Chain A
């Protein structure tokens, strides 16, 4: 992997982020009504004084291009504006919420890839076996279930019938003064249901995809060679076949990241998970646009970073790509 490739990839990512900033800017201006009132939010009960302050800060009395410049440069300096509902800088609000979202999204992604690929590999061993049937039925069901409803159903089951996992929040109040180990375990305990809920949809897709990809690879010559030289079935499946079948899975994993964040938004709302999705929901109900735009900005940044990481790991996984730029 060359340095210039990385540099170019990051440069392009920054360009995409600039696009997101401009889109945010345009959205506020395109919305019906006075932008100052839009920014202050309907629930803010903005006074004339506050509106004047907003007009001053955002340069709303100046030409549109100057306004855009003010907006872009303040974001470049890390200033995402002030939330009038929460009465805090948006950047601070988000910095408190971004950790839980990343934790949830990455756990769900890991869970779905791990279980999905295992199911897919098992199914590929017998293309017409029970496991294959199970995978395709499960994939169709996983695609069709609304993720927020899965969460609610799990809450109903685990809140009363089988109270082994907490169904709300990220930390237990009674463990507030506990040590770091206990606290971490407590967070993981709270993570089980939300992460599993979010993983179910994608798990099914990865199972289906890795089954198809494995079937493709298992028919190739080098697998026959591996079998002929006497490699064990497990070695053929996991060392020879899966490595080559992994590329499409990696591609989808990268593309899926944006959808995963969308799903996390719903899951966080259902489980009261204190992440960005919950923040987005609260701020949308209050029409707190600076916060909403900040969340949109950071969520897009997460997707851009995930895409760059996918590209890098792609090159790492497929040596054939390394020479190219």
Chain B
């Protein structure tokens, strides 16, 4: 163990390793990461394990949880297995959340980067467009898009991405405005780097920490969004999802609390885990903020 201090100083030289070291010490963040991994593994493995169709009617309707061993969480108003719904519904929810967050980040970062880097009329135009999109109430706009272009997992993910990028664009723009004045950007330009290279290879990596945090939180928001749309009955009707389970059973909540409670808990735990990870990353990238 004599070389321990040396490894420590060596590790401290890489910013991402340094951040990971900080992250590991943050108990809630590690808990969140563990929870998130557990949820992903359970939904992936569960869908693999459970061979049947979650839409199948397998038992009497409204069987309470803990009565029949085969259906530990009971059945819904049609007699569908709730455990099956939870296992099979997680995958689509998570996938749509991830894809939607990816689309959000791609649109937001591209527009924000162009806006912040070039300034002038480009900035003016792009910021007006951003403001325009911020005026449209996101969920309503997404509902309109999904209805117009028929609901499928792809249209839902695209609709969520199209309505949620403005905040990312603003954040990216602010970072670019800050970083483009720094010396190493001038240095890169002095050795002949072109705009495209400066934007993507010089500035973007240095703007990464806040964007990674924002991307994490965006996944959480996108999952809630997908759940909201499916709850309203605007999800893909052929794919089981947690929001759909709540929406389908909402007329019977006073007869049976379990068909709506468990999927809601699943959504809550997933987004909770994602936001713990996001907060942990935020603290890890900004050690100075930890006191807050």
Contact B137 A300 (CB under 8 A): yes
> Nearest chain A CB to B273's CB is how many angstroms away?
8
Instruction: Report chain A residues within 8 Å CB of B261.
Output: 153, 156
> Nearest chain A CB to B143's CB is how many angstroms away?
6
Contact A153 B143 (CB under 8 A): no
> Nearest chain A CB to B158's CB is how many angstroms away?
13
Q: Which residue of A lies closest to B217 (CB)?
A: A143
Chain A interface: which of B17-25, B127-135, B193-201? Answer: B127-135
Chain B interface: which of A62-70, A172-180, A182-190, A261-269? Answer: A261-269
Instruction: Produce 1/0 per residue, B264-276, CB < 8 A to A.
Output: 1001110110111
Bound: A47/B92 CA distance, A:
39
- Asked if A32 is an interface residue, CB under 8 A from chain B, the answer is yes
Contact A266 B272 (CB under 8 A): no
| Contact-residue size bin, chain A (C-beta under 8 Å from the other chain) | 35 or more
Contact B137 A261 (CB under 8 A): yes
Instruction: Produce 1/0 per residue, B226-254, CB < 8 A to A.
Output: 01100111100000000100100010011
Instruction: Report chain B residues within 8 Å CB of A255.
Output: 134
Given contacts A160-B254, A265-B140, contact A284 B271 (CB under 8 A): no
> Nearest chain B CB to A132's CB is how many angstroms away?
9
Instruction: Report chain A residues within 8 Å CB of B232.
Output: 266, 269, 281, 284
Bound: A17/B57 CA distance, A:
49
- Asked if A218 is an interface residue, CB under 8 A from chain B, the answer is no
Contact B254 A20 (CB under 8 A): no
Instruction: Report chain A residues within 8 Å CB of B137.
Output: 258-259, 261-262, 265, 296, 299-300, 303
Instruction: Produce 1/0 per residue, A296-317, CB < 8 A to B.
Output: 1001100110010000000000
Q: Which residue of B lies closest to A136 (CB)?
A: B279
Bound: A274/B131 CA distance, A:
30
Chain A interface: which of B76-84, B94-102, B144-152, B182-190? Answer: B144-152
Instruction: Produce 1/0 per residue, B55-92, CB < 8 A to A.
Output: 00000000000000000000000000000000000000
Contact B228 A148 (CB under 8 A): yes
Instruction: Report chain A residues within 8 Å CB of B150.
Output: 32
8 Å CB contact of B254 from A149, A159, A307: A159
Bound: A106/B222 CA distance, A:
25
- Count how many pairs of residues, one from A and one from B, have CB atoms less than 8 Å apart in the complex: 135
- Asked if B260 is an interface residue, CB under 8 A from chain A, the answer is yes
Instruction: Report chain B residues within 8 Å CB of A141.
Output: 268, 272
Bound: A274/B134 CA distance, A:
25
Contact A146 B264 (CB under 8 A): yes
Given contacts A127-B291, A148-B228, A259-B138, contact A155 B267 (CB under 8 A): no
Q: Which residue of B lies closest to A28 (CB)?
A: B148
> Nearest chain A CB to B62's CB is how many angstroms away?
14
Instruction: Report chain A residues within 8 Å CB of B288.
Output: none
- Asked if A19 is an interface residue, CB under 8 A from chain B, the answer is yes
Q: Which residue of B lies closest to A266 (CB)?
A: B228
Bound: A153/B265 CA distance, A:
11
| Contact-residue size bin, chain B (C-beta under 8 Å from the other chain) | 35 or more
Chain B CB within 10 A, most for which of A146, A160, A215, A265: A146
- Asked if A30 is an interface residue, CB under 8 A from chain B, the answer is yes
> Nearest chain A CB to B168's CB is how many angstroms away?
14
- Asked if B220 is an interface residue, CB under 8 A from chain A, the answer is yes
> Nearest chain A CB to B159's CB is how many angstroms away?
12
Contact B136 A300 (CB under 8 A): yes
Q: Which residue of B lies closest to A281 (CB)?
A: B232
Contact A143 B271 (CB under 8 A): yes
Q: Which residue of A lies closest to B131 (CB)?
A: A16
Given contacts A141-B272, A258-B137, A299-B140, contact A148 B233 (CB under 8 A): no
- Asked if A130 is an interface residue, CB under 8 A from chain B, the answer is no
8 Å CB contact of B224 from A146, A293, A307: A146
Instruction: Report chain A residues within 8 Å CB of B292.
Output: 127, 212, 215
> Nearest chain A CB to B281's CB is how many angstroms away?
14
- Asked if A198 is an interface residue, CB under 8 A from chain B, the answer is no
- Asked if A228 is an interface residue, CB under 8 A from chain B, the answer is no
8 Å CB contact of A143 from B147, B220, B264: B220
- Asked if A152 is an interface residue, CB under 8 A from chain B, the answer is yes
> Nearest chain A CB to B173's CB is how many angstroms away?
15
Contact A284 B143 (CB under 8 A): yes
- 7 residue pairs A–B, Cβ–Cβ below 8 Å: A20-B132, A30-B148, A149-B264, A285-B233, A296-B137, A300-B137, A303-B136
Binding site for B on A (CB under 8 A): 16, 19-20, 23, 27-28, 30-32, 38, 127, 140-141, 143-149, 152-153, 155-156, 159-160, 212, 215, 255, 258-259, 261-263, 265-266, 269-270, 280-281, 284-285, 287, 292-293, 295-296, 299-300, 303-304, 307
Given A146-B224, A146-B267, A153-B264, 6 more contacts at CB 8 Å?
A127-B292, A146-B264, A146-B268, A259-B138, A262-B137, A285-B233
Q: Which 10 A-B pairs have the closest CB atoms?
A: A262-B139, A149-B264, A144-B271, A144-B272, A31-B148, A261-B137, A299-B137, A262-B137, A303-B135, A258-B137
